[in-house]
Chains A and B, each alone.
Chain A
Amino acid sequence: MVDKIKVENLSCYYNKKCVLESLSINVIQNEILSIIGPSNSGKTTFLRTLNRMNDLDSIHSRKGEVYLDNNSIFDMDMEDLRRRIGMLFAMPTPLPMSIYENIVYAPKRLGLISKKPEQDALVVRALKDASLWNEVKDRLKSSAMEMSGGQQQRLCIARILAINPEVILFDEPCSGLDPISTAKIEESMIELKRKYTMVLVTNNVKQASRVSDRTAFFLMGKIIEIDTTDKMFVSPKERQTEDYITGRFG
């Protein structure tokens, strides 16, 4: 088992207020790691540190190290890093253009592809990998804004897959979706595990138990427990974890 991402003593601050405290955690290649915890536990901050989205925020500061394939991400070019670590947000964010354009927009402009046949192949591959192909293959030219919320979210997954990342971060990807769309996203996540490493931040404890290999429980900026999902949900070591999983608080 190879560590894809290794986090060492990471602390994050917003305006000097500590939101993550000396966190050490690893993400194994081709696993889905779920991060659960009540709000304000630092889950999203942690996720946004992995692809350095937090660096855009001027009141944010941090200490510690994060390694991707044994190279510090803070030494990497920010744009290169984000191409290797894609991110899916809570709200679907398709751009106001056609489904086809949404997928080729970034790869085309990042210079990854140019010719029309390449683009076509890319769109097919990305949509198939995101389990969206069958639903939209006849209307690639119609606007992405006309799709349902769940389809939009899977289009966003396809858009990320189109630039060939190594890791995909999911920030509460199903919080705005109905159960059926949620099930479809989870299906594609499990499907994607063969090629990609994934980190899922979720408020839905059941979702974590359904899709992830390992689960970490965050509380007040600290990591309380991390274990394989099976163990964690059957016999958690910590009292707080058990309380949270069984719904006694949070």
Chain B
Amino acid sequence: MRKIVDTIIEKIIFLCGISSVIFVILIFSFLFIESFVFFKDFSIIKFITGRYWYPDSKLALFGIFSLLVGSFLVTLGACLIAVPISIMTALYISEVASKNVRDILKSLVELMVAIPSVVIGFIGMIVLVPCVKKLFNIPTGLTAFSGSVMLAFMAMPTIVTISEDAIRSVPWQYKEGALALGATKWQTMRWIVLKTARPGIIAATMLGIGRVIGETMTVIMITGNSSRIPHSIFEPVRTMTAVIATEIGETVNGSMHYKALFSIGLVLFLITFLINFVADLFLEKNKNK
């Protein structure tokens, strides 16, 4: 009897263990099959490079270039804001702050993950958007820039937590060695700590990007949703995620439009997969040292 229970539990654990792998494979094949059908009818090159997303017009056009640019701009902006602040924060937490401050700061930063994206979007909408409009004197505050600022908040906890781990795992002997050679605390951080922790920090950044590029709710709420190719970050943009989320409910199951949205999903999936993969490579490199 005991043996049977043992075997059953073992099987259940095994199933749980591989379920996530199976889900990823299922999702990928589902996306892939739907997109494959779509690309038979609509050229993949036109899909990627097409400037116009007119899914409902008579001669439907499914060009996602403007969406790609939109996602890229928002993500880039978010990184430019989040990465420097996050690295500084991580440095402060692990190298400068006293133990009490460090504990408080760390849990606060981790708490930031818990803020629902719709709340971040909401705050962005009522606080940031009017400010951006006034500050830069532009017709609307719903811009790629606003999206970047709010998304930077969402990327920060990820980047801070993982960079902090990387910085903390720099052997203290390195630091002591540098200090004994007459380096100041800041010089030690810059030359030794940041240099040694670099793979981990790059991985942290990649994971932060992964989170930002897949984010949907906030960008729907504050980036303006205009699928044109923007000329600057102070113009409204539309991201790939926003298109899928807003349009999937209005499409006919199995139509070209429906399949096109799946294809966007596939592109997104591939991008995030690639980013996570690169991040993993850097994390491995960090471990092996």
Interface of B is mostly: helix
Q: Report A-chain residues with C-beta under 8 Å of the C-beta of B54.
A: none
Chain A residue total in the interface (Cβ 8 A): 24
**Is A83 an interface residue, CB under 8 A from the partner?**
yes
Q: Are A93 and B173 in contact (CB under 8 A)?
A: yes
Q: Report B-chain residues with C-beta under 8 Å of the C-beta of A53.
A: 176, 179-180
- Per the bound structure, the CA–CA distance linking A160 and B143 in Å amounts to 54
Select A96's contact among B179, B191, B196, beta carbons within 8 Å. B196
Q: Are B176 and A79 in contact (CB under 8 A)?
A: no
Q: Are B192 and A95 in contact (CB under 8 A)?
A: yes
Counting contact residues on chain B (CB < 8 A from A), the size range is: 10 to 19
A-B contact pairs, 30 of them (CB 8 A): A53-B176, A53-B179, A56-B179, A79-B182, A79-B183, A80-B182, A82-B180, A82-B182, A83-B181, A87-B180, A89-B176, A89-B177, A91-B173, A93-B171, A93-B174, A95-B174, A95-B177, A96-B196, A105-B191, A106-B178, A106-B181, A109-B183, A109-B191, A110-B181, A110-B182, A110-B183, A156-B177, A159-B177, A163-B181, A163-B182
Near B by CB (< 8 A), chain A positions 96-116 give: 96, 105-106, 109-110
Q: Report A-chain residues with C-beta under 8 Å of the C-beta of B184.
A: 79
**Is A51 an interface residue, CB under 8 A from the partner?**
yes
Near A by CB (< 8 A), chain B positions 179-212 give: 179-184, 187, 191-192, 196
B79 → A minimal CB distance (Å): 27
Q: Are A160 and B173 in contact (CB under 8 A)?
A: no
Nearest CB in chain A to that of B178: its residue: A106
Q: Report B-chain residues with C-beta under 8 Å of the C-beta of A105.
A: 191
Q: A82-B182, A109-B191 are in contact. Are A96 and B289 (CB under 8 A)?
A: yes
Q: Report A-chain residues with C-beta under 8 Å of the C-beta of B196.
A: 95-96
- Per the bound structure, the CA–CA distance linking A106 and B178 in Å amounts to 8
Q: Report A-chain residues with C-beta under 8 Å of the C-beta of B177.
A: 89, 93, 95, 156, 159
Nearest CB in chain A to that of B185: its residue: A56
Binding site for A on B (CB under 8 A): 98, 171, 173-174, 176-184, 187, 191-192, 196, 289
- Per the bound structure, the CA–CA distance linking A87 and B196 in Å amounts to 21
A100 → B minimal CB distance (Å): 16
Q: Report B-chain residues with C-beta under 8 Å of the C-beta of A80.
A: 182
**Is A173 an interface residue, CB under 8 A from the partner?**
no
Q: Report A-chain residues with C-beta under 8 Å of the C-beta of B191.
A: 105, 109
Q: A216-249 interface mask toward B, CB cutoff 8 Å, 1 = contact, 0 = none?
A: 0000000000000000000000000000000000
**Is A86 an interface residue, CB under 8 A from the partner?**
yes
A58 → B minimal CB distance (Å): 8
Nearest CB in chain B to that of A84: its residue: B182
Q: A95-B192, A96-B196, A96-B289 are in contact. Are A106 and B176 (CB under 8 A)?
A: no
Q: A105-B191, A109-B187, A109-B191 are in contact. Are A93 and B181 (CB under 8 A)?
A: no
- Per the bound structure, the CA–CA distance linking A219 and B261 in Å amounts to 78
Q: Report B-chain residues with C-beta under 8 Å of the C-beta of A89.
A: 173, 176-177, 180
- Per the bound structure, the CA–CA distance linking A80 and B196 in Å amounts to 25
Q: Are A106 and B192 in contact (CB under 8 A)?
A: no
Q: Report B-chain residues with C-beta under 8 Å of the C-beta of A109.
A: 183, 187, 191
- Per the bound structure, the CA–CA distance linking A79 and B186 in Å amounts to 12
Select B181's contact among A56, A91, A159, beta carbons within 8 Å. A159
Q: Are B182 and A83 in contact (CB under 8 A)?
A: yes
Residue among B98, B181, B192 facing the most chain A CB atoms (10 A cut-off): B181
- Per the bound structure, the CA–CA distance linking A91 and B177 in Å amounts to 10
B75 → A minimal CB distance (Å): 31
Nearest CB in chain A to that of B192: its residue: A95
Nearest CB in chain B to that of A90: its residue: B173
- Per the bound structure, the CA–CA distance linking A166 and B183 in Å amounts to 17
A134 → B minimal CB distance (Å): 25
B97 → A minimal CB distance (Å): 12
B88 → A minimal CB distance (Å): 20
Select B176's contact among A81, A93, A110, A159, beta carbons within 8 Å. A93
Q: Report A-chain residues with C-beta under 8 Å of the C-beta of B98.
A: 58
Q: Report B-chain residues with C-beta under 8 Å of the C-beta of A51.
A: 180
Q: A53-B176, A89-B173, A93-B176 are in contact. Are A106 and B182 (CB under 8 A)?
A: yes
Q: Report B-chain residues with C-beta under 8 Å of the C-beta of A95.
A: 174, 177, 192, 196
- Per the bound structure, the CA–CA distance linking A102 and B191 in Å amounts to 12
- Per the bound structure, the CA–CA distance linking A163 and B181 in Å amounts to 8
Q: A96-B196, A96-B289 are in contact. Are A160 and B181 (CB under 8 A)?
A: yes
- Per the bound structure, the CA–CA distance linking A96 and B196 in Å amounts to 8
Near B by CB (< 8 A), chain A positions 22-74 give: 51, 53, 56, 58
B96 → A minimal CB distance (Å): 12
- Per the bound structure, the CA–CA distance linking A93 and B181 in Å amounts to 12
Q: Are A82 and B181 in contact (CB under 8 A)?
A: yes
